[in-house]
A and B are shown apart, each in its own frame.
Chain A
């Protein structure tokens, strides 16, 4: 009752104001509503555009092979099945790959971000000779495609040696290919996947923090390292979180470095890349009959596998989405 009354009151008030402004208020109101409707339509369309492949994959992953060839079935499967998931999990050795991938992604991401934070802080806060030169090197690292150096990195780790010490001790150089060690070494040296970018982002973040706090800490007798750990790190939490997420996600899906250094280990990314080739022999092994797998069905398995791989990432993203989005967009990556 009272609500209707107030509504009526505000309406009449609105009319009054509109009359006073010579119709301007009304015009503006209509324009605002129109714009927000247009915006909603546009955004809905674009969100659909991004989500559609995922929805599509979900619907396909529950279909039987029969449904795939049925022209009437488009998005809702007629014969609902979870068989695709079982096959895909078997093909990718899902459990093992998942554990392996999580372990490697987490350790690599922690190592990379720890080192990159140190380096980024060093670039942001200290004045030292040749600083610009070294920073230009960081930019160079961002720019050099890893493919350019991959062939010689290959050989570098195939015949690994530190100033000939190992050769003197063992009589021959070390073959580090097929082990995980080279990749950890690369990460410790900031040369992993997109590490130049992390350094750059962290540096920009530290540069935006006012120096007063640090100076106060120095005056109170706090050492450089202690200041960094106690004062600066807590403030840099948002950028570290988002860089960590970047590192984790990119490592998770990375095919290039994984193929190069971790080729023998079952990882989700490399397993997914192989899934189409391995489905034929797999079915042959089970049924004992030489069969050719239809393209549609192998793609269906591929879609299922992709879903299974991005599922952990999406769960992670849902939890960390707020920090992820807000921290980057509010801290500002300025030039």
Chain B
């Protein structure tokens, strides 16, 4: 009896060893290229780093860099707040948009393959440098303006605003929504991956559920909220985290740009590390907090 147990332990041990072998590249990479630089940059954020020829010296200056970031630097606070509100707005917009698009793309219709291909095109188009260049291309902006001018300046949001105002509904509450609708291109271009994730979730919902519901007299609208929504609620969590992180790390993010500028342009490593740590902590806290609240509402089927 005892011998058998030992043998089992041996097998488990072997499995554990091969498991470790499989993930060893990650462990090594993590320790060397993540933990060490992370600690290093944490230390640097409390230092003033001087880069000489061939050597660099860091002298401990306490909270000086953080003090500088929050109280001395004219831009940092403003950029942080601006980017944060923008992130909040866009992330919500992306979630709603991608959920809606996934619902539509999951239906059966002619030319579905082509439409899907077009919708996932942003995964390619919205990456890396292209995104940053896209935002400040003035020629395209003027072109859009010309088109707007030639169509007598009628935009949907303007008309909608007009209608709402004449109806006596306050427009201020919808202002942010209008901003989002006006920038629908940015939302669409950023939601490629999210659509894929939602779509993959939608395809795992068994069709029998909908059938049963519709036999019981459930309308499509009701089954959307009572079946579809709870069944893919866990993917809302995944998508939310992905969206927030993706937005915070985009290369056209103003805070990131500022950090890059300070680090590479001005060679001020200490100050740059301090700023990136502040940013990182805020993002992490935000992601942690929101995903905690979302995960409370997530429904797990099995």
Contact surface of A with B, Cβ cutoff 8 Å: 36, 39-40, 42-43, 46-47, 49-51, 53-54, 56-57, 60, 68, 71, 74, 115, 118-119, 121-123, 125-129, 131, 134, 137-138, 140-156, 158-159, 172, 185-186, 188-191, 199, 224-225, 246, 249-250, 252-256, 259, 269-270, 272-273, 295-296, 299-300, 302-303, 306, 309-310, 313-314, 317, 321-322, 324-325, 328-335
Contact = CB atoms under 8 A, between A and B. Distances in A.
Contacts of B197: 333
Contacts of B16: 126-129
A115 B22 CA distance: 9
A199 B29 CA distance: 13
29 contacts: A36-B109, A42-B104, A50-B185, A50-B189, A53-B185, A119-B22, A119-B25, A121-B22, A128-B16, A137-B26, A137-B30, A145-B279, A148-B38, A148-B273, A149-B38, A150-B276, A154-B263, A158-B56, A190-B30, A250-B128, A255-B132, A259-B264, A299-B138, A299-B140, A303-B140, A306-B133, A306-B134, A324-B120, A332-B204
Report the 8 A-B pairs with minimum CB-CB distance, sorted nearest first.
A189-B29, A122-B22, A126-B19, A253-B128, A299-B139, A128-B16, A255-B129, A152-B40
B94 interface: no
Contacts of B204: 332, 334
B20 interface: yes
Nearest to B278: A148
A146 B41 CA distance: 12
A189 B124 contact: no
Contacts, number: 270
Contacts of B203: 329-330, 332
B138 A272 contact: no
Interface in B1-19: 12, 15-19
Given A310-B130, A331-B200, A47 B259 contact: no
B292 to A, nearest CB: 14
Given A122-B19, A156-B37, A71 B269 contact: no
B26 A119 contact: yes
B160 interface: no
Interface string B246-280: 00110100001001100110000100110011011
B96 to A, nearest CB: 14
B257 to A, nearest CB: 10
A214 B36 CA distance: 37
A296 B142 contact: yes
A149 B287 contact: no
A143 B143 contact: no
B280 A145 contact: yes
B32 A189 contact: yes
A74 B143 CA distance: 7
A167 to B, nearest CB: 12
B101 interface: yes
Interface centre among B54, B107, B128, B143 (most CB of A within 10 A): B128
B185 A191 contact: no
B248 A145 contact: yes
Contacts of A137: 26, 30, 34
A330 B122 CA distance: 19
B238 interface: yes
Given A296-B142, A299-B139, A329-B199, A43 B115 contact: yes
A123 B41 contact: no
Contact of B118 (A50, A53, A255): A50
B33 A189 contact: yes
Given A295-B139, A329-B200, A332-B203, A190 B25 contact: yes
A322 B116 CA distance: 10
Contacts of A53: 134, 140, 185
A335 B146 CA distance: 47
| Binding site secondary structure of chain B | helix
Contacts of A306: 130, 133-134
Contacts of A40: 109
B12 to A, nearest CB: 7
Contacts of A46: 101, 119, 188
Given A118-B22, A256-B251, A314-B124, A49 B30 contact: no
A155 B269 contact: yes
Nearest to B256: A147
Contact of A302 (B22, B133, B188): B133
Which of A39, A50, A128, A148 has its CB near the most chain B CB atoms (within 10 A)?
A: A148
B273 A152 contact: yes
B23 A122 contact: yes
Nearest to B257: A147
A276 B273 CA distance: 30
A128 B15 contact: yes
Given A191-B29, A299-B138, A317-B121, 19 more contacts: A53-B185, A56-B140, A56-B143, A119-B22, A128-B17, A145-B249, A148-B38, A148-B276, A151-B263, A152-B36, A159-B56, A246-B123, A272-B129, A296-B138, A310-B125, A325-B117, A329-B203, A334-B201, A334-B204
A292 to B, nearest CB: 15
A271 B39 CA distance: 33
B161 to A, nearest CB: 20
Nearest to B119: A50
A328 B196 contact: yes
Contacts of A142: 245
Contacts of A322: 113
B147 interface: yes
B23 A134 contact: yes
Contact of B29 (A68, A121, A125, A186): A186
Contact of B56 (A150, A155, A332): A155
